[in-house]
Amino acid sequence: MDILLALKTNAVSVVMTVLVMLLLWKIRGKQSSFGRLPPGPPPNPLLGNLFQFNIKEPYKYYLEVSKKYGSVVTIWLANTPVVIISGFGALKETMIGLGEEFSGRSNYPLIMKATLGYGVVSTSGHRWKEMRKFSLMTLKNFGMGRRSIEERVREEAEYLVEMIKKFEGSAFSPADMLSNTVANVICSIVFGHRFEFEDPQFKFLLQTVNAYFSIINSPLGQIYNVFPKLVSLFPGKHHQLFKDLEEAREYYKREAQARMNNVDPSCPQDFIEAFVLKMKEEKDKPDTEYNFDNLVSSVWNLFSAGTETTSSTVRQSLLLMMKHPDVQERVQREIDEVVGQDRWPSTEDRQRLPYTDAVIHEVQRSMDLTPIAVPHKTMCDTKYNGYVIPKGTVVFPLLSSVLIDPKLWKNPNCFDPENFLDEDGRFKKNDAFVVFGMGKRVCLGEALARTELFLFFTSLLQHFTFKAMVPPEELDTTPANCSFGRMPRSYECYAIPRM
């Protein structure tokens, strides 16, 4: 019996050894088939480098391997190679200098689940170019970067201030109010109207956005993006999210269908109407990109990204003002001197509010909202820095590496508005401020986001002093979720009226 047991044990060991060797051979074969990829840490069988780092904060691992292997590194997520590009010089050469080659969007499963491969965010090539061009043109037509959008933002800022006043200095959580406020700006462009905060449909759409970003920024989301078919077999909150995403898509489609026969060709009132008119214009073109799939996904892109990123940044800005009451006081003093209390701030005030402008930029830089941006892919076999990166390779532009580079910032590792001020206290631009991305895939809503951040922040600090429920030194300002994006912590605070 002992001999038989030993033979069985040896047989199992031999089989396992052979399997491991086959897996290693398969990975090495796949590595060699991917051209002359940049160097990187050796992958493990099946999992690659996946569990060599804290999945809650993968960007920190990307920074570490970039320091060790250089500005262009290859890691493996399971059997998929990912090229990480770090440092301002390398990112500028690739995202801008080789912008067309690196302009693709990788098949990120959770993003694809929400868009089905349509719209702006998840597409590449002709479809992406067409949808981005149309979206940019339409956003500009509806006021992005102009005074008309400023008026919409100011209207929402007034609603927000009035809501906060109702708390009369008692503790409250600003998260939902900020999401509602920011969402209504983009709703006025996409749907042609704002929603009441208690509107059931509005609440559902916002809940879906919040659930989506909660999962995509969680370890569950990271595992799903590597093993989507496997994770789909297990129970979890992602299944409810997928149902909600489909329901949200149906709502957007109904909104579009309702406009099909009720749109004035000479004067579209919102993004959906403008898209519907384009659909009618190209209805006889068999290869047109103007269809319900691209419309629905474009609306989701604008609504979700336009809500979450800006509201999270404003939420983080208030948290940092409570952490640094001296900074908050200096901002308020500058607003009082330039704007006063008799009118609302305007974008024309920005140049006369250099310290305030520096604070807003520093909130964005120190927050580092999207450490790797949305993953890219190469559109063709691409030579760079002596390596050959094959067509279709996933690429992570490591924006964090630029935002914390000591060669580019005075004090990169702490919150310090001096990073954006010169010796005379004037606002100083910095090309390394890459929070909106770089190159052809730079955020298409950048102009709108800049307007919102400035007007919401200045309006809030004009009317309130924000105080934490604990001493400033006890406040934790590090993000709670860091897997895909660095989302701010939930908190309650006091808003003490200043008027």
How many alpha carbons fall within 13 Å on the CB side of residue 166? 8
In sequence order, what are the beta bridge partners of 481?
Answer: 487
What are the φ and ψ backbone dihedral angles of 217, each rounded to 5 degrees? -95, 10
Instruction: Single out the residue of 300, 253, 246 nearest to residue 279, CA to CA.
Output: 253
The dihedral region occupied by 373, where left means phi > 0, alpha psi between -120 and 50, and beta the remainder, is left
Helix, strand, coil shares of the chain, percent, nearest 5, are 55, 10, 35
d(CA 39, CA 480): 32
Which residue is listed with tokens 């809500």?
307
- The DSSP call for residue 56 is T
Asked if 397 contacts 438 with a C-beta cutoff of 8 angstroms, the reply is yes
How many alpha carbons fall within 13 Å on the CB side of residue 41? 22
d(CA 463, CA 459): 6
d(CA 465, CA 463): 7
- Is 443 annotated to bind ligand? yes
d(CA 181, CA 193): 13
Q: Which residues are annotated as a binding site for heme?
A: 443
Q: Which residues are annotated as a binding site?
A: 443
